[in-house]
A = this chain, B = another copy of it.
Amino acid sequence: MAAERVVVVGGDAAGMSAASQARRLKGPDQLEITAFERSRFTSYSACGIPYWVGGLVAERDALVARTPEEHRARGIDLRMRTEVTALDLAGQRVRARDLETGTESWTGFDHLVLATGARPVRPKLPGIGARGVHGVQTLDDGRRLMDTLERVEGRRAVVVGAGYIGVEMAEALKLRGFEVTVLHRGAQPMSTLDPDMGGLVHGAMNAMGIRTVAGAEVDAVLTDADGRARAVTTSSGEEYEADVVVLGIGVEPRTGLARDAGLPLGDSGGLLTDLSMRVRGHENVWAGGDCVEVLDLVSGRTRYVPLGTHANKHGQVIGSGVGGGYATFPGVVGTAVSKVCDLEIARTGLREKDARAVGLRFVTATIRSTQTAGYYPDAAEMTVKMLAERRTGRLLGVQIVGGAGSAKRVDVAAVALTAGMTVDQLVALDLGYAPPFSPVWDPVLVAARKAVTALRSAGI
């Protein structure tokens, strides 16, 4: 029997995890794997770029988990600097262009794996394409930003957006000695949190010397005579001088090819798959990573959650399927953690507006505690907000803002959400306690106790 042919489009987390896992299950005599990657890098940690930029990670190559050579040594035919330009699903082939030579050719497949990732949102504004304006989605983006940072003479940085990328880049630029201004549209930074919790982030960032500007609608990047960015202006007429501008306003799925091929996309433009990561309605087309929507287990809806950790899991699941095994990706609960200097930020499940949007009624409880016993050295404040469904008492979401050791505690809530636990069940959880690690009542459990009381007061 001839080997089955697998074509992978995109050589980062999802694509190369899929290729590697498929290869683990079937050797080259059974499975012929070809992977196409536009850039110069494979299997790298895009999430690590802010730490490289900030100088915490010295070498770019530390972010590369596996090089093209390593993949090839495992029997994967990896074509770097090669962009797939068309999908012919009926003909079971893809067209790819070698970006160095311009040559185009077709490659046939039995299984197609789409792992085309995301691209940074880049609003169509005057000057947005100027030199000195950077996204930080790919390692190539990171390299270009580093070049700029090493060349610029001034020390003023403007970050547009105050989500994960925005706050992480604010920290990175501050670590490099820049005066950092973060412009964001909402009332508070970190709109992945409710505004009351975002307010804590706002206060802490200002206390660190990072300026934040709320309600800022960027309308142009002004350039100097050389065409380099020199300032950012907002619709309210303000002007923020900038020697470098970093765009951290989120990403969108890179699914143009998939759309052209008639594959099903969700509201965000992400591909829709089944639980085994097969594109809906297509037995031999798989998709994963930052180009797909995923099922949110709490709201029951699909949504777009581009995160490296999901991409790796998707790749594992796809590789198992392509390799003749069985695995599924059941969905997410919306967990995310981040930090800006000493402040840790975490969330899982639904925010107030998410819960309302799907018709859930809920109570909230917010408590302040410390991450260690209050008397332990460097005990730092930690605020936990919890949402619980009325009547059932089911946990709906948790948000945490606090000092070192706060963020990963959100994992307790992530598991509880997955298991469908009530806040009453949470109160009784047997979590690790010792003074260097937690107060005797873990802050997540204190929040659960308060949520139980709130449910009672709400009269169910």
Contact A414 B429 (CB under 8 A): yes
Asked if A431 lies at the interface with its beta carbon under 8 angstroms from chain B, I say yes
Asked if A428 lies at the interface with its beta carbon under 8 angstroms from chain B, I say yes
Given A412-B415, A440-B308, also A432-B45 (CB < 8 A): no
Shortest CB distance A156–B (Å): 26
**Complex: chain B residue closest to A436, CB-CB:** B339
**Complex: chain B residue closest to A441, CB-CB:** B312
* A-side interface residues, number (CB < 8 Å): 65
Contact B435 A407 (CB under 8 A): no
Given A375-B57, A421-B419, A428-B329, also A309-B433 (CB < 8 A): yes
**Complex: chain B residue closest to A419, CB-CB:** B419
A 418-451 to B, binary, CB cutoff 8 A, 1 in contact else 0: 1101000101111111111110111000000000
Contact A440 B336 (CB under 8 A): no
Asked if A131 lies at the interface with its beta carbon under 8 angstroms from chain B, I say no
**Cα distance A168–B308 in the bound complex, in angstroms:** 38
Interfacial chain B residues near A331, Cβ < 8 Å: 430
Shortest CB distance A205–B (Å): 16
Interfacial chain B residues near A407, Cβ < 8 Å: 432, 434, 437
- List CB contacts (< 8 Å) of A20-75 with chain B: 45, 47-48, 51, 56-57, 62-63
**Complex: chain B residue closest to A374, CB-CB:** B62
**Cα distance A56–B408 in the bound complex, in angstroms:** 24
Asked if A313 lies at the interface with its beta carbon under 8 angstroms from chain B, I say yes
Interfacial chain B residues near A51, Cβ < 8 Å: 375-376, 435-436
**Cα distance A348–B432 in the bound complex, in angstroms:** 8
Interfacial chain B residues near A442, Cβ < 8 Å: 309, 411
